[in-house]
Structure 1
């Protein structure tokens, strides 16, 4: 395809008591050349004045393609006319280069109040679709533009909410005016380009994800819109998890860094935060809640999260050092226990782990463990074994997934990492998201040379997901670097996103 391609334009005039309004909408497909991009509609109405309308990101149907959209609304006023008929082209600026889709230099046109015009040479196209499912939404409308198919025998949406293990078919109905009846009931001449508008409603209930495609049947032929072979997909908000070792109050500008962590949690809309080296003043072993670093971060959120924290041992001769979980959603269960043989609070290798069972909307119950284990030579093996046994005991039929999160003090490819791999129970989710070929060699094929592939991987912080879990990681990135929120610890953070399989 070209770097940018217009899929459809919509031009509608409505008349209500509040006045006359003209709405223009543009929908385009672009090649994802770089993150830093700009898409504009360059257009002119009947007054001949050329203007620029910025487009906004809509969705990402596949790894190298994106949908962008633009919309304008105009109200007729005594001193201001409507644009009426328009001419336009699309401009795509990225990496210092400019690309155009302007109908091969002739510009596109759209007549006033003409309805939908398809420009992509497709006989059927899904239009006006949302890029996510709203909280509480149980019905999804589907609007289909069929080119000159007002006499189609059947228009059908084929859909699933469980990745095509079960499928449904919902018929669509022909709509002479697919726009909101109250707003646009007096539209002058909708669909003058010969586009037939069909509408269907999918009842998805509490499903997390909807996938669908559309078929049009006419005179024994079947025409499809399956999103260029990828099917349409729309879902609820995924589960977003952050892990971070806080470095036990050893940072310069510590107070500012706590604020940066809180800022990242809010801006990235993170659901669950697993923290290690959480510290509060020792105070002769009694602790000091006001100085607890997890509490301070939590209190700096606009809406504080649910918090569960506990401590293991004396750290840096002045702190109670431990771990914590912050959760946007209530904790249905929580627990804490030592996984080390030692429970001596003056022994740095006394290691306690906290767990929380969290009910995540549209996903289900998830068991999350925040851990900070000892180095290999100081007891990692026995600690990890006890952690896995504890996690197994917490597993039940209604638990969707189990995630072991935090600082495991084992480098990727080390003996400790080998122990995790050889157990065939938990899998490294950062690797799954970013190096899928390597992930397959290590966790699925058990390539005898897998350790060699990790020579340059110095991570010791992980999210290990039980391979029997019903979740899959969709993205993973390093956080708190010079490129984003700055360094806040001697560790980086890891931010990962999960969806149901």
Structure 2
């Protein structure tokens, strides 16, 4: 099973169209089963469209715009004769001109659900977080995959958002993959909170037999304006009996060009019966 997570920064990036193509090329070359994306934007003023049958809506009613970054990515893959099902959750307005949210792509259909992680539930409040969960088939097993974007520990918000995540997943009966931007590095109480969770999560980074790279942020970015070091804040967490063959930081300028203010994470793993 091959999975990928990336905070795309989408249309906020310079040369965003070119970078979308780089992401599509990596997905095509990597033959990923599931992709989790964060900061997936669409322009508020863009035309609303009716997506085709590859779109898997959540229980929420949201408009899909013609420049939705996940939609455009799926369309780029279709040009290469590669089909992915996809879903998108809308959290809040970003930078006064975008609808911002999370996305999931899967080779198989997705039963998609969004859940409110934050106390705020107002699209005008940039701290509103609605994470996206999808039940999908991967390598012959049903897996619950969550694309998440959490707040920072020192803002006092992460603990609540993580509590809501545990509550949402407490009755999950399938293996769980939680992928995304946690905004908590390995030294933070937030990271330890995840490892101590009753969900029984493990960090794919620490399980991997072969590891390439570690940090997913290496400069000052929004939310980390004072950062001057190397941070690992984007993760792949898994439940169950897991063998992780490979863990690679991607889109970091080494094997694959940089496409965002975050690097991505690729993991190759095997889920076995508990």
TM range (shorter): 0.7 to 0.9
Secondary structure (helix, strand or coil) at the match of 2:11 reads coil
- 1:369 pairs with 2:141: no
Q: 2: distance between equivalents of 1:255 and 1:498?
A: 31
CA distance in 2, matches of 1:427, 1:411: 15
- Secondary structure of the structure 1 residue equivalent to 2:128: coil
Instruction: Provide TM-score, normalisation by structure 1.
Output: 0.45
Structure having the higher Rg: 1
Partner of 2:243: 472
Higher relative contact order, chain-length normalized (CA < 8 Å, sep 6+): 2
- After superposition, the Cα gap between the structure-2 partners of 1:240 and 1:343, relative to the gap in structure 1 and judged at 3 Å, is same
Q: 2:186 aligns with which of 388, 402, 412?
A: 412
Which whole-Å deviations, capped at 9, do the CAs of 1:13-44 have from their partners, x for residues lacking one?
A: xxxxxxxxxxxxxxxxxxxxxxxxxxxxxxxx
- TM-score (norm. length: structure 2): 0.81
- Within the alignment, does 1:300 sit opposite 2:76 as a pair? yes
Aligned residues: 236
What is the CA-CA distance between 1:457 and the residue it aligns to? 6.0
**CA deviations over 1:306-346 (Å, ceiling 9, x no partner):** 00111100111110000000001222x22112111110111
- Deviations 1:360-409 (Å, cap 9, x if unpaired)? 243x111100000111124110101111221122x12xx2x101110011
Cα 1:472–1:389 shift into 2, 3 Å:
farther
1:384: which partner in 2?
162
SS at match of 1:423: coil
The DSSP-based 3-state class of the residue aligned with 1:283 is coil
1:350 aligns with 2:110: no
Are 2:258 and 1:487 equivalent residues in the alignment? yes
Question: Does the 8 Å contact 2:133/2:145 carry over to 1?
Answer: yes
CA distance in 1, matches of 2:233, 2:190: 10
Listed as ranges, the gaps of 5+ residues in structure 1 are 1-238, 437-455
Once the two structures are overlaid, the 10-residue window that deviates more, 263-272 or 424-433, is: 424-433
Give the match for residue 27 of structure 2: 265
In structure 1, what is the equivalent of residue 232 of structure 2?
459
**Are 1:282 and 2:35 counterparts?**
no
Instruction: Write 1 or 2 for the structure with the bigger share of helix.
Output: 2
For 2:12, what is the secondary structure of its paired residue?
coil
Q: 1:92-491 to 2 correspondence within 5 Å?
A: 239-283=1-45, 289-301=65-77, 302=80, 303-331=82-110, 333-362=111-140, 364-376=141-153, 377-393=155-171, 395-396=172-173, 399=174, 401-423=175-197, 425-433=200-208, 458-466=231-239, 469-491=240-262
Cα distance in 2 between the residues matched to 1:420 and 1:361 = 26
- Specify the alignment match of 1:500 in structure 2: 271
Unaligned runs of 5+ in 2: 49-61, 212-228
The structure whose residues are more often strand, as a share, is 1
Report the CA distance between 1:298 and its aligned residue: 1.0
Note if contact 2:114-2:132 (Cα within 8 Å) is conserved in structure 1.
Answer: yes
Contact kept? 2:210, 2:247, Cα under 8 Å: no
- Aligned-residue CA RMSD (Å): 2.1
Structure 1 distance, partners of 2:271, 2:148, is: 24
